[in-house]
Amino acid sequence: MTTQFIPQSDEATGAPVHREPNPRQRILVVEDDPAIRRINTEVLIYSGYHVDAAEDGQAAWEALQLNNYDLMVTDNDMPRLTGVKLIQKLQAARMALPVIMATGGAPDELSTRYGSLQPAMVLIKPYTFDELLDAVKAILSASHQEQAETAPPPNWSTPALMNRSNL
């Protein structure tokens, strides 16, 4: 069965609805299968995210050196650099980036083979567009909440607070 992604449209004009992306929500899709890479990228773009795509782990690593991302969705079994090796490189470089691993392998195998090396979430192929979007939303929401909890209060650098040197 072939599934086709059809973007929502404006009923009056029939034109696709353009959703303004949140500039903080930039996603890197890493997939060696061109059809899956294209569909995942299109689904995420139509859902309002900024999306870059890489054909394998090595191309993704190069993109990660040039750009900041809020999330990476990656396959595991790819030429040149697997998804697991890519996550290892992220950890070794101390790059804090949540990862969704979209793979045909069982998540139990991932946890037993690689121990503490865990993506934020695992999607088992084949997955639906809704499952992909739900996973992305959940991970970005959790990541945003963690950042908010560690961020200084919004008025931390106001002049009134900075001039309290006599305390």
Is 105 domain-assigned?
yes
Is 78 domain-assigned?
yes
Is 106 domain-assigned?
yes
Place of tokens 């192929």: 125
Is 15 domain-assigned?
no
Is 154 domain-assigned?
yes
pLDDT in tens, 36-84: 999 999 999 999 999 999 999 999 999 999 999 999 999 999 999 999 8
**Alpha-helix residue ranges (DSSP H) falling in the chain:** 34-46, 57-66, 83-92, 107-114, 129-150, 159-162
> Could you list the residue range(s) of the whole structural domain that residue 112 is in?
26-162
Contacting residues for 143 by C-beta, under 8 A, at least 6 apart: 70, 71, 98
Arithmetic mean of pLDDT, 95-111: 78
91 or 5, which is more confident: 91
Is 12 domain-assigned?
no
Upstream peptide bond of 126 is cis (omega within 30 degrees of 0): yes
Under the banding of pLDDT at 50, 70 and 90, the label for residue 129 is very high
Is 133 domain-assigned?
yes
Domains identified in the chain, total number:
1
CATH number of the domain that residue 122 is part of: 3.40.50.2300
Q: Is the model's pTM score more than 0.75?
A: no
pLDDT in tens, 135-160: 999 999 987 666 555 444 444 444 44
Closest CA to 97 of 25, 152, 44, 39: 25
Residue 106 — φ and ψ, nearest 5°? -75, 140
Is 41 domain-assigned?
yes
